[in-house]
Chain A
């Protein structure tokens, strides 16, 4: 997956599971997003304080990420998903091939989630837009799930979204 992340933080994250699939297969059915997110959420939540509610919450976030890759991904290559845990946080690492030149848009959208006006931007998007953009979906994760997002482009043309979700503390 070619992610070059700071080794000290990486070692602190314990791998929970890994999943990959040919993009072509993944893109053949929209319901893959729902099925994969529900299934994986249940698997990783079983030893959380409140497994049922953690799973519901996590599935909700993971589904949005999978939908981003479904809408923006191309058929050449694989979609790879790894989930790690450190304390109350799960890290989702999602990589998928996307058309050349698209990485820039993800880079911008991700950086906006880390700016101080993220909430204002999110509110503006949901009060005016008819359908969610890639940007507003990522803002939703930052605002409603307290997610921290990063982008890794080392394996271009695939991109890797790295999303830390501190849901355990929010559920219980």
Chain B
């Protein structure tokens, strides 16, 4: 449903099955009359539920006092009329004012509680937001950039455009892209506060200015529609348990005619010589292990289908192999050493047997052995894909 007078900027929805009433977008009416329909929808939702009604304001971007007071009037009156009713208001840690404004309701009315929605979006998130992940990201981007700097222009990257890097991690890609392609604007978003702090520190130390680092949830972004010519999301679609949700958000913020560029892996295709078999075994097991965390590290070749299903056209897909020959083999070995530690931790937490974990680790060590071997070869394949938002 769309509020009268403010087409598309404000959305009200009610899902009777989950008992969730949601308010999203920007709503700044001059008078209550303009939002009468939405107010009525809240009243109806309250009448329709037994027990708890969740009021989801995670995606509420702006709401003036006129609208705020009108909505909370309905909520407060309903609590006064019905002692069985519980209202749970779900705000987002990203939108600073909503939590500060809505928190008062639980003081005023004991039947209302306010929850701040934050981490635990998906099962693997903790691992990716940990500081121990920082050196891995650093080592990965160092090697992938050698390939991507020549790949990117084919996917629409060029000087003077507005760029977003969603799930930017420690921001190295944004720094490199800014230096190489001089975009007019570059926004870099992530949900890891340690990674963002690190990114800002690095930028300050190297005198890099103009990258707008922002804390946010990629599946519920504060960024407005149709803002960017080029939206990158690297190694991250694969870590979401609902990739289609994330892709929808990327689609929303890119301009019509602009492109969304994603890179993903197919970890079971990581390879090395010598010791190919042990390496192969471990990466097959890795893909299986991560699927328990709803992370699909086999996503790479699925990019085309997912981009098409999201509504993109002119889809381009290519793959490249990061190898130990892309410069100093030690850089490749550093990546794998980081993986060994991180993924062995995950295997342990998942309750794998010690013998399994030992064999699992051995494959990574063999991959490192192959990388550093004077006649060895070690590879990590990546799929780069992009699609255009139709005009």
The number of chain B residues touching the other chain, given as a range, is: 35 or more
CB of A74 within 8 A of chain B?
Answer: no
Binding stretch for chain A, among B67-75, B283-291, B296-304? B67-75
Complex contact A63–B222 (CB within 8 A): no
Complex contact B222–A52 (CB within 8 A): yes
Complex contact A52–B100 (CB within 8 A): no
Inside 8 A of B31's CB, which chain A residues have their CB?
A: 131
Our pick among A52, A122, A130, A145 for the contact of B97 (Cβ within 8 Å) is A145
Dominant secondary structure of chain B at its interface with chain A: mixed
Complex contact A33–B101 (CB within 8 A): no
Inside 8 A of B187's CB, which chain A residues have their CB?
A: 51-52
Inside 8 A of A34's CB, which chain B residues have their CB?
A: 26, 28, 62
Inside 8 A of A78's CB, which chain B residues have their CB?
A: none
Inside 8 A of A56's CB, which chain B residues have their CB?
A: 61-62, 95-97, 222
Given contacts A123-B107, A131-B66, 7 further A-B contacts (CB under 8 A): A52-B222, A63-B28, A126-B104, A126-B108, A132-B68, A145-B97, A170-B96
Min CB distance A113 to B, Å, is 14
Inside 8 A of A60's CB, which chain B residues have their CB?
A: 62, 97
| Chain A residue, CB-CB nearest to B103 | A144
Inside 8 A of A132's CB, which chain B residues have their CB?
A: 65-66, 68-69
CB of A156 within 8 A of chain B?
Answer: no
CB of B76 within 8 A of chain A?
Answer: yes
Min CB distance B213 to A, Å, is 7
| Chain B residue, CB-CB nearest to A171 | B96
CB of B216 within 8 A of chain A?
Answer: yes
CB of B240 within 8 A of chain A?
Answer: no
CB of B223 within 8 A of chain A?
Answer: yes
5 shortest interchain CB distances as A-B pairs? A52-B214, A132-B65, A51-B212, A144-B100, A30-B30
Please provide the chain A residues from 15 to 33 with a CB less than 8 Å away from any CB of chain B in the complex: 30, 33
Give Cα A58 to B94, complex, Å. Answer: 14
Interface string of A124-158 (1 = CB under 8 A from B): 00110111100011001001110000000000000
Give Cα A57 to B101, complex, Å. Answer: 12
Please provide the chain A residues from 86 to 102 with a CB less than 8 Å away from any CB of chain B in the complex: none
Min CB distance B114 to A, Å, is 13
CB of A50 within 8 A of chain B?
Answer: yes
Inside 8 A of B96's CB, which chain A residues have their CB?
A: 53, 56-57, 167, 170-171
Min CB distance A172 to B, Å, is 8
Min CB distance B8 to A, Å, is 14
CB of B132 within 8 A of chain A?
Answer: no
Complex contact B215–A50 (CB within 8 A): yes
Complex contact B214–A50 (CB within 8 A): yes
Give Cα A57 to B200, complex, Å. Answer: 20
Inside 8 A of B68's CB, which chain A residues have their CB?
A: 126, 132
| Chain B residue, CB-CB nearest to A45 | B212
CB of A114 within 8 A of chain B?
Answer: no
Give Cα A60 to B28, complex, Å. Answer: 10
Please provide the chain B residues from 47 to 73 with a CB less than 8 Å away from any CB of chain A in the complex: 61-62, 64-66, 68-70, 72-73
CB of B32 within 8 A of chain A?
Answer: yes
Chain A CB within 10 A, most for which of B97, B107, B215: B97
Complex contact A131–B69 (CB within 8 A): yes
Give Cα A145 to B171, complex, Å. Answer: 30
Complex contact A140–B101 (CB within 8 A): yes
Give Cα A59 to B223, complex, Å. Answer: 14
Complex contact A144–B69 (CB within 8 A): no
Inside 8 A of A46's CB, which chain B residues have their CB?
A: 212
7 contacts between A and B (CB under 8 A): A52-B214, A53-B96, A53-B215, A67-B64, A67-B66, A130-B73, A136-B65
Our pick among B94, B101, B104 for the contact of A53 (Cβ within 8 Å) is B94
Inside 8 A of A140's CB, which chain B residues have their CB?
A: 65, 101
Complex contact A49–B200 (CB within 8 A): yes
Give Cα A143 to B189, complex, Å. Answer: 29
Min CB distance B61 to A, Å, is 7
Inside 8 A of B94's CB, which chain A residues have their CB?
A: 53
Complex contact A57–B69 (CB within 8 A): no
Inside 8 A of B222's CB, which chain A residues have their CB?
A: 52-53, 56
| Chain A residue, CB-CB nearest to B109 | A127
Give Cα A64 to B237, complex, Å. Answer: 38
Please provide the chain B residues from 199 to 220 with a CB less than 8 Å away from any CB of chain A in the complex: 200, 209, 212-216
Min CB distance B389 to A, Å, is 21
Inside 8 A of A63's CB, which chain B residues have their CB?
A: 28, 62, 64
Give Cα A152 to B248, complex, Å. Answer: 49
Give Cα A56 to B221, complex, Å. Answer: 12
Our pick among B26, B64, B72, B200 for the contact of A64 (Cβ within 8 Å) is B64
| Chain A residue, CB-CB nearest to B221 | A52
Min CB distance B43 to A, Å, is 14
Give Cα A25 to B212, complex, Å. Answer: 34
Our pick among A33, A170, A172 for the contact of B28 (Cβ within 8 Å) is A33
Once A53-B214, A59-B62, A67-B64 are accepted as A-B contacts, the answer to whether A130 and B30 lie under 8 Å apart by CB is no
Give Cα A143 to B65, complex, Å. Answer: 13
